[in-house]
């Protein structure tokens, strides 16, 4: 029985031998193929891992480059913002500098215009002063009474309160003092008094005054001198002569000059034109508020401005009342006739005493 089983097995193996070998080969081939595929899969996997690593590196590099680019862009934006701020600041400063330069230019233009007007005014005044002539010199002077005598009288047109400015003969600078006619003694003689010196100024000595040239600023023998008045003046308006500036008109008559008003007090209308003989325009208050009706004040100011421009165009000096009085030796005298008479009596008394001394001691004494 056992023998039969073995025999059957041998026969079976003998019968199926070739088919079993083929399956083994197929199996082996499959194993090899599977191994090859596994190796190929590993290679692919490694390649994929390498590529993933490369992609990751590229992504990291791109991220780094992106960050650097963003940083560069930020720096560029910051720099651009900085330059924009700088530009805006410079542009603002430039505008401010231009505005300031324009203001300074306008100021300089106004200063130059004012300087030009000042130069023209000084030129007119210099021309006015150059026309002054020497009218005479003192023939006698008593420094204690301040009274003296000039060789100018009625035939020359001298009159009470007429003034003569004293100047050094060489310098022609009228700063030594002012003499005022007390009375006309005759055709060629007048008595004058030395007016008080300005505050803080020492009067000249008698010797200097006797050697000084005398000149009446607004009086020229044989020639008409006219002074036009514009606005309300303060000089002597307590006078009762009538008109707006009676005191100044009376004062000018005493100086040998004629005068007239240019504008009306009532409505600001022009009363007269500038005559050819006008030597000077004296300007006071041209606001007009104290004497002109409110509705006419604007017209008065405009007319006054027009007259000033006309005088400038014709080369006629336009001066303030203060400047005019400085040229004339000060405001009108307030010395009364009684005070003048007292000074005269004092001078006569001193002359009598001097005469007595000379009669008693005719021989000169060495001092």
The answer as to whether 77 is a domain residue is: no
Instruction: Assess whether pLDDT exceeds 50 at residue 39.
Output: yes
279 domain residue, yes or no: yes
Alpha-carbon distance 59 to 41, whole Å?
A: 26
- Mean pLDDT of all residues in 27-56: 85
* SS3 per-residue string spanning the chain: CHHHHHHHHHHHHHHHHHHHHHHHHHHHHHHHHHHHHHHHHHHHHHHHHHHHHHHHHHHHHHHHHHHHHHHHHHHHHHHHHHHHHHHHHHHHHHHHHHHHHHHHHHHHHHHHHHHHHHHHHHHHHHHHHHCCCCCECCCEEECCCCEEEECCCHHHCCCCCCEEEEECCCCCCCCCEEEEEEEEEECCEEEEEECCCCCCCCCCCHHHHHCCEEECCCCECCECCEEEEECECCCCCCCCCCCCCHHHHHHHHHCCCEEEECECCCCCCECCCCCCCEEEEEECECCCCCCCCHHHHHHHHHHHHHHHHHHHHCCCCEEEHHHHHHHCCCCCCCCCHHHHHHHHHHHHHHHHHHHHHHHHCCCCCCC
Measured distance CA(24)–CA(21) in Å, rounded: 5
Question: Which pLDDT belongs to residue 31?
Answer: 80
Higher pLDDT, 123 or 221: 221
Residue 175 within a domain: yes
The CATH number covering residue 250 comes to: 3.40.50
CA distances, 338 to each of 334, 335, 343 (Å): 11, 8, 9
Q: What phi and psi values does residue 81 have, to the nearest 5 degrees?
A: -65, -40
Q: Which of the listed residues 216, 245, 275 is the one where a domain comes to its end?
A: 216
Asked if 235 and 320 sit in the same domain, the reply is: yes
How do residues 263-281 score in pLDDT, each as one tens digit?
776 666 778 888 888 888 8
pLDDT tens per residue, range 92-150? 888 888 888 888 888 888 888 888 777 776 665 555 544 456 678 899 998 888 899 99
Chain-centre distance of CA 291, in angstroms? 33
Are 226 and 324 members of one domain? Answer: yes
Same domain, 248 and 203: no
CATH number of the CATH domain containing 178: 2.40.10
State whether 123 and 142 are in the same domain.
Answer: no
Going by C-alpha positions, the residue among 322, 331, 317, 324 that lies closest to residue 237 is 331
Residue 64 forms part of a structural domain: no
Q: Answer yes or no: do 177 and 251 share one domain.
A: no
Strands 226-230 and 258-261 come out as parallel
Same domain? For 122 and 143 the reply is no
Is the residue at 78 inside a domain? no
Pairing mode, if any, of strands 189-194 and 177-186? antiparallel
pLDDT at 241 > cutoff 50: no
pLDDT at 150: 92
Q: Are residues 234 and 318 in the same domain?
A: yes
| 211 and 277 assigned to the same domain | no
pLDDT tens digits along 338-358 = 555 665 566 566 567 666 766
Domain end call among 164, 187, 216: 216
Residue 27 domain-assigned?
no
Which tokens sit at 79? Answer: 């720099």
Task: Report whether pLDDT(3) > 50.
Answer: yes
**What span, in angstroms and rounded, lies between the C-alpha atoms of 134 and 364?**
35
Within-domain flag for 154 = yes
**283 and 316 inside one domain:** yes
Our count of domains for the chain comes to 3
Same structural domain, 242 and 284: yes
Average pLDDT over residues 58-87: 89
What residues make up the domain containing 119?
87-130
Measured CA distances, 219 to 85, 133, 158 (Å): 73, 10, 9
Of 216, 236, 270, the residue that ends a domain is 216
My answer on whether 262 and 329 are in the same domain is: yes
- Please determine, for residue 71, whether its predicted confidence score (pLDDT) is greater than 70: yes
Let me know if residue 357 belongs to a domain.
Answer: no
Nearest to 161 by CA among 193, 118, 123, 121: 193
Q: Are residues 100 and 173 in the same domain?
A: no
């Amino acid at each position: 029985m056992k023998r039969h089983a073995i025999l059957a097995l041998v026969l079976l193996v003998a019968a199926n031998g070739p088919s079993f070998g083929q399956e083994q080969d197929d199996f082996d081939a499959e194993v090899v193929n599977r191994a090859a595929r596994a190796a190929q899969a590993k290679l692919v996997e490694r390649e994929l891992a390498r590529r993933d690593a490369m992609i990751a590196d590229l992504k990291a590099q791109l991220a780094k480059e992106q960050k650097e680019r963003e940083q560069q862009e930020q720096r560029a934006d910051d720099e651009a913002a900085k330059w924009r701020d700088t530009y805006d600041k410079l542009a603002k400063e430039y505008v401010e500098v231009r505005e300031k330069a324009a203001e300074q230019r306008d100021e300089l233009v106004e200063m130059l215009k004012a300087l030009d007007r000042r130069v023209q005014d000084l030129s007119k005044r210099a021309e006015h002063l150059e026309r002054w002539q020497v009218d005479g010199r003192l023939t006698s002077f008593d420094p204690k009474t301040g009274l003296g005598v000039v060789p100018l009288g009625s035939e020359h047109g001298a009159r009470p309160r007429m003034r003569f400015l004293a100047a050094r003969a060489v310098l022609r600078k009228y700063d030594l003092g002012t003499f005022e006619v007390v009375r006309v003694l005759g055709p060629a003689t007048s008595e004058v008094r030395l007016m008080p010196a300005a505050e803080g100024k020492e009067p000249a000595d008698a010797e200097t005054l006797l050697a000084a040239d005398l000149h009446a600023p607004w009086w020229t023998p044989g020639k008409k001198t006219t002074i036009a008045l514009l606005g309300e003046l303060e000089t002597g308006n307590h006078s009762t002569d009538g008109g707006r500036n009676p005191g100044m008109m009376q004062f000018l008559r005493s100086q040998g000059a004629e005068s007239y008003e240019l504008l009306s007090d009532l409505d600001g209308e022009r009363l007269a034109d500038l005559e050819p003989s006008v030597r000077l325009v004296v300007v006071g208050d041209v606001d007009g508020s104290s004497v002109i009706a409110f509705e006419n004040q604007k017209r008065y100011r405009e007319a006054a401005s027009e007259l000033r421009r006309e005088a400038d165009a014709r080369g006629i000096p336009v001066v303030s009342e203060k400047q005019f009085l400085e040229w004339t030796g000060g405001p009108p005298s307030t010395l009364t006739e009684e005070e003048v008479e007292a000074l005269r009596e004092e001078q006569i008394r001193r002359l009598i005493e001097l005469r007595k001394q000379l009669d008693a001691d005719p021989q000169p004494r060495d001092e």
